[in-house]
Structure 1
């Protein structure tokens, strides 16, 4: 499938779980499509990039190992994504990567995720926390930063400061997640 054919197929991707799973399985069974999905994802001013983001998130959820060979490309360009429907899946993919990295279960992510990747994820996660993003992107970023803070000791104090500063301005969902995380961080 060419990039143009994939671009056209992405017009059929919607929020339906079955629909995203169908296309994710297509990509997982044809890993040569992942660079094309990434190319479309990083056409950041095109609304189809959001559909590519949804698809890539579902691929990562189903089989995180499938995206690992393309990790450098994802990490290098993830900060360019700015449309709300694409930001959330990018934050979620970062969370999947960080959760796998700090998992007690052996996995390939630990081999692929380099210190410079973690630094970029830290930077993006803090960007999502301090800019006007939807709650989901902030929630995924909170979790990523919480886990990363176990390795990088400067993260937790910064995260607590941001959570406390933004607590009263946040939505009910933000407050609930922030309250839970602040409690964990203060132990």
Structure 2
């Protein structure tokens, strides 16, 4: 399948879990399609970018390992994604990478995620926190920063500053996640 054919296939993707899972499984069964899916995701001004993001998020939720050979491409380009419905799945994938990386169990993310990758993820997640993003991207971003902040001693103080500064002006969902993160940072 070419990139153009995959692009056309993504027309079938909608908000339903069934469609997203179907196409995530298609990518998992055909890992050669993953670079094409990333190409579409990083067509950041295109209406298919979010659909590619949804599929990639579902794929990573099922099995993150196929993304690992493409972490350079993924982390170098995540800051370019700007459509709200594409930012959310990218932020979720960053959170999934951080969860795997900080997990107590051995997994391939621990040996594949480099300092450069983490730097790109941290920079992008701080952008989510300080820019006018939807609450889901901020929530995934703060969780990612919290987890990676154990390795980078400057991250927690910066995150705490942003959470305390923005607490009063953000939504209930933001406040709930921020309260949770701030409580964890105290322990």
Shift in Å at residue 15 of structure 1?
1.0
Query: How many angstroms does 1:183 deviate by?
Result: 1.3
Distance 2:179 2:111 in 1: 33
What residue in structure 1 maps to residue 164 of structure 2? 164
> How far apart, CA to CA, are the structure 1 residues paired with 2:69 and 2:186?
37
Q: Which residue of 2 aligns with 1:74?
A: 74
> 1 CA distance for matches of 2:72 and 2:55?
18
Q: Measure the CA separation in 2 of the matches of 1:185 and 1:100.
A: 19
CA offset digits 1:118-138 (Å, max 9, x no partner): 011110010000000011100
Alpha-carbon distance in structure 2 between the residues aligned to 1:151 and 1:124: 17
Q: Which runs of 5+ in 2 are unaligned?
A: none
Q: What is the correspondence of 1:46-65 to structure 2 with a 5 Å cutoff?
A: 46-65=46-65
1:11 alignment partner, SS class: helix
**C-alpha deviation, 1:79, in angstroms:** 0.7
Measure how far apart 1:175 and its partner are: 0.7
Q: Quick one: distance in 2 between partners of 1:154 and 1:77?
A: 24
Q: TM-score w.r.t. structure 2 length?
A: 0.98
Name structure 1 gaps, 5 residues minimum.
none
Segments of 4+ in structure 1 off by > 6 A? none
> Structure 2: how far apart are the matches of 1:62 and 1:55?
11
TM-score normalised by structure 1 residue count: 0.98
CA distance in 2, matches of 1:109, 1:34: 17
Distance 1:49 1:71 in 2: 18
Cα distance in 1 for residues equivalent to 2:154 and 2:72: 25
Paired residue secondary structure (2:12): coil
Deviation (angstroms), 1:16: 0.6
Are 2:103 and 1:103 equivalent residues in the alignment? yes
What does 1:92-131 align with in structure 2 at a 5 Å threshold?
92-131=92-131
Q: How many residues align?
A: 187
CA distance in 1, matches of 2:71, 2:58: 16
Aligned to 1:154: 154
Rounded Cα–Cα distance in structure 1 between residues aligned with 2:34 and 2:129:
28
Cα-to-partner distance string for 1:1-36 (whole Å, 9 max, x where unaligned): 111110000010011111100110000000000000
In 2, the alpha carbon distance for the partners of 1:82 and 1:148 equals: 23
